[in-house]
Structure 1
Amino acid sequence: MSDQLSLVFGALADPTRRAILARLTGGEATVTELATPFAMSLPAVSKHLKVLERAGLISRGRSAQWRPCRLEAAPLADVAGWVQTYRRFWEGGFDRLDEHLRALQDGERS
């Protein structure tokens, strides 16, 4: 796994950071706007934002004193690609479960 992918998975491991990303799907937001739903200080939210920024999941603009945060989706596509390589394993499990359930239903009908 690449170092960047490790940073992304590490950033996504925290529920606060996932909630921040979910909020950013609706558009840009300031640190204050992002901090509103959380019972934590602005510096604590800023630390979460630094982790997200280091992982490439957000970027911060600059417009005078306003520094809006925005979602950057490319690292999420990389995660999706990595997960996709393992799809056949869980689909195979579902296929086996379907076969087992069908066999149970056929046994009940007999």
Structure 2
Amino acid sequence: AKKFVTLYRLNKQLLSAQEHYDWGLRAVKSVLVIAGELKRGDPAIDERRTLMRALRDTNMAKLSRDDIYVFMKLIQALFPGIDVPVKLYPELVEACKQAASN
């Protein structure tokens, strides 16, 4: 919980001011919902890894290109030694390729 609050406090201070950025309770709830879903999907996974992935996956889509680098550095600093690979969706990628070629 401490890392979560620290990350959101640093995000508010260090990332650019964007109207769509939300570092309040609504955003916290969204991350906790995702973390819960991830944990239920794989109960054996380490909770720190689950939280890191939920924080990353929930926030990356809304960040500006310039803020992504800073955000990822903050995540790495707060969760040292934890590497969570990005989940790939090969079926979705293939469907997009087929749709684009038609």
- TM-score past 0.5 threshold: no
Please give the TM-score of this superposition, normalised by the length of structure 2: 0.28
The structure with higher relative contact order (CA 8 Å, sep 6+) is 2
Largest Rg, 1 or 2 = 1
